[in-house]
């Protein structure tokens, strides 16, 4: 029996040796994984030289692996940073576009006002000299109010312009009737006849219409660029959820743990993860597209009847025309005022002779009218900030068109980055989350409500992101203001249209019939277009009910934010 035991022992030893040799052969080298791990700035002490048992891993596969527990934890942080970097780059580019265009438009507008004020001042000083300088604060106040409207917005343009013409009438009435003495009470009576007598002809009505619409459109457009810039800035900082971070780790670095260091994630696999991680950002798309459409329509107004440059360039001549109308009609105006307000008291004879030459100075205005002529858009000269309104608007329109559907395209744009996924055409030799093979799941839709069946990222569809909701409301409020500006209405005085008599900021389009494009493109406050509703018909989800409730609250808060 002892002799029979030796062969059995030898067979046992041989079997054990074979098993150990097989295990050694199966334990592959992790040198390439180790090299790439160290190249990312991590310690080589974390990385094993050969495959080890992966029972310690929480997200990546627990079979034989090249990843230690420390590696998985650091890869998790790295995948989160990689994702935030790529998303930031996508958003920051567009944010920079809106920021630069807002800055240029703002600079142009302010310089345009400065140039118009300087032109009027130079013209009036040359024409009137001391007479104008004694009354220059009237015109200075006009431009100060126009600037204040643009910067702050809390100026009722119609009332401000009415006040300007009333004050100008008082000064003019004194000059054309310099042989009389007028008390403040008498001049108040004179101002009451402004509408009835129309001493300045039709100039105040036309100029009020043009200035109001041009300023409202220009300010609203600039404000829209600022809103777009701010929305991009606030949304570009993404903080992935725990579930998103786990999915990112699995997508970007778990392949390394299996030694597949050169295999990139499948495109559709990446798309599902991005749509899950950017679900709330996807909900911006509907209001964002409405906002972009509104901006483009106001841009058309700026190129046409609401062109602030064509209003401000000749404003000095328009005011001079009004003054000449007053001078030509001064006798009839004065007689009617004297009938209504009573005969004024004459001044001493010695003062009449000194005042008469000054009133005659107004007749010299007619020689200045010929220096202005209309320009076609292609030949409009540079007027402010080294450019013209036409050039600015043309450039901004192009950028706006490119920005449309940005949020619904963001997941795809992130996956198009070679750092995040393989090319769309490489569907076989890519990482599908488990191995090097085709990805079989369908790609989910954009937005929070579509993530309930996302196969890669667990998303709580009942809790929309409050920051995103605030941006949705900012866009919705701004779109509403754009609609008012497009129709020629003052966007900051919502009740003013009830008080208008049909001439000021609340009346229709002077140059052409206002089209009704906004009726077709108006914001649907349910957050769905007609096509979206058809594609997602059915009962409201919990997320949509929550969104609707919070939206109502935020709308009231945001209504004042961009005034």
Give, in degrees to the nearest 5, the angle at Cα 87 between 83 and 93. 150
Beta bridge mates, 65: 52
416: nearest Cα among 87, 18, 84:
87
Using an 8 Å Cβ cutoff, are 182 and 344 in contact? yes
Across 171-175, average pLDDT: 87
Report pLDDT digits (tens) over 49-88.
999 998 999 999 888 999 999 999 999 999 999 999 999 9
352 contacts: CB under 8 Å, gap ≥ 6? 178, 179
Q: What is the pLDDT of residue 127?
A: 79
108: left (phi over 0), alpha (psi -120 to 50) or beta: alpha
Report pLDDT digits (tens) over 405-447.
999 999 999 999 999 998 777 778 899 999 999 999 999 999 9
Using an 8 Å Cβ cutoff, are 340 and 189 in contact? yes
Asked if residue 548 has pLDDT above 60, the reply is: no
Quote the CA–CA distance of 225 and 396 in Å, as a whole number.
Answer: 9
Phi/psi for 442 (5° steps) reads: -75, 155
Across 313-320, average pLDDT: 90
Asked if residue 370 has pLDDT above 70, the reply is: no
Angle between helices 242-252 and 267-277 (to 10 degrees): 160
**Which of the residue ranges 18-32, 328-342, 440-454 has the most confident prediction, judged by mean pLDDT?**
440-454
Quote the CA–CA distance of 360 and 171 in Å, as a whole number.
Answer: 14
H or E element, residue 8? helix 2-26
Phi/psi for 560 (5° steps) reads: -95, -15
Cα–Cα separations (whole angstroms), residue 135 to 170, 285, 327: 11, 53, 17
Average pLDDT value over all residues in the chain: 80
Across 543-552, average pLDDT: 48
- Kindly provide the b/e burial profile for residues 413-425, where b requires at least 16 CB atoms within 10 angstroms of the residue's own CB: ebbbeeebbbeee
Using an 8 Å Cβ cutoff, are 546 and 527 in contact? no
Q: What would the DSSP string read from start to end of 310-341?
A: HHHTTHHHHHHHHHHHHHHTHHHHHHHHHHHH
Q: Integer distance in angstroms from the first to the last C-alpha of the chain? A: 103
Q: What is the pLDDT of residue 491?
A: 63
Report pLDDT digits (tens) over 244-269.
999 999 999 999 999 999 999 999 99
Across 466-470, average pLDDT: 95
Across 480-505, average pLDDT: 59
Across 8-18, average pLDDT: 49
Q: Which pLDDT band, with edges at 50, 70 and 90, does 351 fall under?
A: low
Domain boundaries, the chain: 75-346+403-470
Cα–Cα separations (whole angstroms), residue 66 to 70, 262, 431, 545: 11, 15, 16, 47
418 contacts: CB under 8 Å, gap ≥ 6? 264
C-alpha torsion 117→120→121→123, nearest 10: 160
What secondary structure letter does DSSP report for 29?
B
Q: What is the pLDDT of residue 553?
A: 47
H or E element, residue 556? helix 542-558
Across 481-493, average pLDDT: 80
Q: What would the DSSP string read from start to end of 428-468?
A: SSSB-SSSBS---SPPP-SSGGGGGG-SS----TT---HHH
Residue 107 has which token pair?
């600079």
433 contacts: CB under 8 Å, gap ≥ 6? 250, 251, 254, 265, 269, 439, 456
203 three-state secondary structure: helix
Report pLDDT digits (tens) over 118-165.
999 998 888 777 878 888 999 999 999 999 999 888 889 999 999 999
Q: Which pLDDT band, with edges at 50, 70 and 90, does 386 fall under?
A: low
Beta bridge mates, 265: 431
Q: Residue 376, exposed/middle/buried by CB under 10 A (0-12, 13-18, 19+)?
A: exposed
């Amino acid at each position: 029996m002892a002799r029979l035991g030796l062969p059995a022992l030898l067979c046992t030893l041989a079997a054990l040796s074979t098993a150990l040799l097989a295990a050694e052969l199966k334990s592959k080298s992790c040198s390439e994984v180790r090299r790439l791990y160290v190249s990312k700035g991590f310690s080589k002490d974390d990385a094993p030289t050969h495959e080890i048992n992966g029972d310690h891993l929480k997200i990546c596969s627990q079979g034989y692996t090249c990843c230690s527990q420390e590696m998985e934890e650091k890869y998790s942080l790295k995948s989160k940073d990689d994702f935030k970097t790529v998303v930031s780059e996508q958003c920051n580019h567009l944010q920079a576009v809106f920021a630069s265009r807002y800055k240029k438009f703002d600079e142009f507008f302010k310089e345009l006002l400065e140039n118009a004020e300087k032109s009027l001042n130079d013209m009036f000083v040359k024409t009137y000299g001391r007479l104008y300088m004694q009354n220059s604060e009237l015109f200075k106040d006009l431009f100060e109010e126009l600037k204040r409207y643009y910067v702050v917005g809390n100026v009722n343009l119609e009332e401000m312009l009415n006040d300007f013409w009333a004050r100008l009438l008082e000064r003019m009435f004194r000059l054309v009737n310099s042989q009389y003495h007028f008390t403040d009470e008498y001049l108040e009576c004179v101002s009451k006849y402004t509408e009835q007598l129309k001493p300045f002809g039709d100039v105040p009505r036309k100029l009020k219409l043009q200035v109001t619409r041009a300023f409202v459109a220009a300010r609203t457009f600039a404000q829209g660029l600022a809103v777009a810039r701010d929305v991009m800035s606030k949304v570009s900082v993404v903080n992935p959820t725990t579930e998103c971070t786990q999915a990112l780790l699995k997508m970007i670095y778990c392949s390394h743990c299996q030694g597949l260091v050169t295999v990139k994630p499948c495109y559709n696999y990446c798309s599902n993860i991005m749509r899950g991680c950017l679900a709330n950002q996807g909900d911006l798309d509907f209001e964002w597209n409405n906002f972009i459409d509104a901006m483009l329509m106001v841009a058309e107004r700026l190129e046409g009847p609401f062109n602030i440059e064509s209003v401000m360039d000749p404003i000095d001549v328009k005011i001079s025309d009004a003054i000449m109308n007053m001078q030509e009609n001064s006798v009839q105006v004065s007689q009617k005022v004297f009938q209504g307000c009573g005969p004024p008291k004459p001044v001493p004879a010695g003062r009449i002779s000194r005042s008469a030459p000054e009133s005659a100075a107004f007749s010299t205005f007619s020689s200045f009218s010929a220096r202005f002529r209309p320009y076609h858009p292609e030949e409009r000269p540079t007027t402010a900030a080294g450019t013209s309104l036409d050039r600015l608007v043309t450039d901004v329109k192009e950028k706006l068109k490119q920005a449309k559907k940005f949020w619904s395209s963001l997941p795809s744009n992130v996956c198009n980055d070679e750092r995040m996924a393989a090319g769309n055409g490489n569907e076989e030799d890519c990482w599908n989350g488990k191995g090097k093979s085709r990805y079989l799941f369908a790609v989910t839709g954009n937005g929070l409500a579509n993530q309930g069946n996302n196969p890669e990222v667990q998303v709580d569809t009942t809790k929309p992101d409050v920051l995103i909701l605030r941006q949705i409301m900012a866009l919705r409020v701004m779109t509403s203001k754009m609609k008012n500006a497009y129709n020629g209405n003052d966007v900051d005085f919502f009740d003013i249209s009830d008080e208008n008599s049909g001439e000021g900021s609340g009346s229709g389009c002077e140059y052409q019939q206002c089209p009704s494009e906004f009726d077709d493109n108006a914001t649907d406050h349910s957050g769905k277009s007609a096509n979206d509703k058809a594609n997602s018909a059915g009962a409201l989800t919990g997320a949509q009910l929550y969104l609707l409730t919070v939206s109502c609250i935020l709308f009231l808060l945001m209504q004042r934010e961009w005034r």
